[in-house]
């Protein structure tokens, strides 16, 4: 049994059957209650055309999973391994150390006194 949902404000009407043909697989699929609730909600709020266009956009241009999520998951796995003690000995060996190189330059005491005098010291 099908039901007609209308958004009179935007002149949109949609007849929803109990089953539909999935255009990708060709199989008959039942309409879930979640989909029916969303259609009913958007029909009542005059946003039915927005729901349909959003669904079609997601269908034809699915959002790709972002790469940073993969990086975060890899980092979490490494942290988990560290906490479980698998790599506890290698942790300190892999921490990079920064060596500070100091340049020693000969300073003339008279120049230092002049600079201090200029800055009130």
Q: For residue 40, is pLDDT > 80?
A: yes
Q: Give the helix ranges, DSSP H, for the chain.
A: 33-44, 48-60, 67-83, 88-94, 109-118
Q: What is the dihedral of CA 105, 111, 117, 118, to 10 degrees?
A: -80
- Mean pLDDT is highest, among 52-56, 74-78, 83-87, for 52-56
Phi then psi dihedrals of residue 28, to 5 deg: -80, 130
Specify the DSSP element, H or E, that contains 96: none
Alpha-carbon span 46 to 50, nearest angstrom = 9
pTM of the model: 0.49
Instruction: Read off the pLDDT of each residue in 68-76 and give the average, rounded to a whole number.
Output: 79
Domain boundaries, the chain: 3-60, 66-97
Please write the tens of the pLDDT for every residue from 104-113.
677 778 887 8
């Amino acid at each position: 049994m099908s039901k007609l949902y209308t958004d009179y404000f935007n002149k949109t009407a949609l007849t929803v059957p109990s089953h539909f043909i999935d255009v990708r697989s060709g199989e008959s699929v039942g309409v879930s209650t979640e989909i029916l609730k969303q259609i009913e909600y958007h029909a009542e709020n005059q946003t039915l055309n927005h729901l349909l266009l959003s669904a079609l956009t997601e269908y034809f241009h699915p959002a790709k999973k972002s790469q940073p999520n993969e990086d975060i998951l890899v980092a979490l796995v490494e942290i988990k391994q560290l906490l479980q003690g698998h790599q506890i000995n290698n942790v300190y060996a892999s921490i990079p150390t920064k060596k500070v190189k100091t340049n020693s330059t000969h300073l003339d005491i008279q120049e230092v006194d002049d600079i201090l005098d200029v800055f009130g010291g």
